[in-house]
Amino acid sequence: MVEDELALFDKSINEFWNKFKNTVSDTSCQMVGLRDAYKDSIKAFAEKLSVKLKEEERMVELFLEYQNQICRQNKLIQEKKDNLLKLIAEVKSKKQELEVLTTNIQDLKEEYARKKETISTANKANEERLKRLQKSADLYKDRLGLEIRKIYGDKLQFIFTNIDPKHPESPFMFSLHLNEARDYEVSDSAPHLECLAEFQEKLRRTNNFSAFLANVRKAFTAMVYN
């Protein structure tokens, strides 16, 4: 009985051991298979992840490159905008200068027209004065022994004779012209008359040339008799 029981127990032990070995062997194989499958899966995932990371890095590089290009383009646009604003300001300034220049030219034209009219009026007045002088010269030439000559510097030279009874041909003279203010100016009297400046001022006030000539002749005559 004991031997039978021991044999049965030994048999049970062997069966258990065989089942255990088989079970452990199958589990080990399954674990190895799972391990290898896991390694392959991890490797594949790592490769995909690496590719994805490289693509993302390239996308980042492209994004940064595009961003730099946009910055450069914005800078160029801003420079062109600044240059355009500067050009517009210069054109506006030139336009204002042109307007000022046009106004100045118009003012100069108007001033020239006024001066031209003034000169024309003054020339007409001078012509009238010369006519009166010539008329007076013709009137007094025979009576007063007066001769009028036009000399250098747009001056008129007045020469009196028949003043000195002892020397009737002796000349007594002075010069006359119109100054820049268009007033009579007397000079170069020979012999010199102290009162000539007084006669000049009176002539400017009265514009009576006949009286002026008469006064000058009287002064020369008084000089001879004195």
- Class assignment of domain 129-225? alpha beta
Q: What is the pLDDT of residues 48-70, one digit of tens each?
A: 878 888 888 888 888 888 888 88
Report the chain's mean pLDDT, rounded to a whole number. 83
Residue 16 pLDDT greater than 90, yes or no: no
Q: What is the pLDDT of residues 155-211, one digit of tens each?
A: 899 999 999 999 999 999 999 999 888 889 998 899 999 999 999 999 999 999 889
Helices 2-144 & 209-225 angle (0-180, nearest 10)? 60
Q: CA of 219: how far to CAs of 59, 115, 191, in Å?
A: 118, 40, 10
pTM above 0.85, yes or no: no
pLDDT of the residue at 39? 73
Closest listed residue to residue 177, CA positions, set 115, 121, 128, 130: 130
CA 188 to chain centre: 54
Rg (the chain; Cα; Å): 65
